[in-house]
Structure 1
């Protein structure tokens, strides 16, 4: 009888362990999905900032680099990030902390066309 109870406890402990591990992996998957949804949108966040504050100088025929399209911004994403984060650009006055964060995060996330 002692052996049966010991065996039952072992099985119960094993099942609880599997349940616990499956719950953890499920939470990790949900967090990854949420992080995917949080990525900074070029179209909704970055492009409006660039249009409002950068394209008057860095548009077609303007100063280097030309960032008038996604493809051109993507080519120069690292330098745009550096100039904005350092406060050297835009010349007309600094961006807000939220605008800077949007550009920095967008570049850090791979400068996606999203």
Structure 2
């Protein structure tokens, strides 16, 4: 009986000690409503991409400062933000979007690239 209690206690401790971040345990695909550029995508682009993809930035040759520019480059954007860590083509440089941000951008494309 003592061995059984020890085994059960050990199993509970091992399961309870699993370390996961909020991003890992949250439902990354649960974006229920229609994703739009102005409401959902633009804030992500502005916070993570504009410093390079605008006038004066290192990627100013490919600006993403408005709806049309982002819409016209969506396949390239999704390709670059979805690359594995360590890939030299992964964007944003020196960082990564969260899984939920990537989901929002890919859902925007799937939802039809609506502006508003």
TM-score category (smaller protein): 0.5 to 0.7
Q: 2:65 aligns with which of 62, 68, 77?
A: 68
Matched, 1:97 2:92: no
Residue of structure 1 in register with 2:109 after alignment:
107
| Structure of greater relative contact order (alpha carbons < 8 Å, 6+ residues apart) | 2
TM-score normalised by L of structure 1 = 0.62
Q: 1:85 aligns with which of 75, 82, 85?
A: 82
Q: Residue 82 of structure 1: CA displacement?
A: 1.2
- When the two chains are superposed, the root-mean-square deviation of aligned CA atoms in Å is 1.6
Q: Residue 61 of structure 1: CA displacement?
A: 4.1
User: Deviations 1:23-50 (Å, cap 9, x if unpaired)?
Assistant: xxxxxxxxxxxxxx71112112110010
**In structure 2, how many angstroms separate the alpha carbons of the residues matched to 1:39 and 1:46?**
11
Q: Residue 110 of structure 1: CA displacement?
A: 2.1
- In the TM superposition, structure 1's runs of 4+ consecutive aligned residues that sit over 3 Å from their partners are none
Other structure's SS at 2:51 match: helix
Aligned residues: 78
Does structure 2 retain, via aligned residues, the 8 Å contact 1:39–1:106?
yes
Larger radius of gyration: 1
Does structure 2 retain, via aligned residues, the 8 Å contact 1:60–1:68?
no
**In structure 2, how many angstroms separate the alpha carbons of the residues matched to 1:40 and 1:102?**
7
What stretches of structure 1 of length at least 5 have no aligned partner? Answer: 1-36
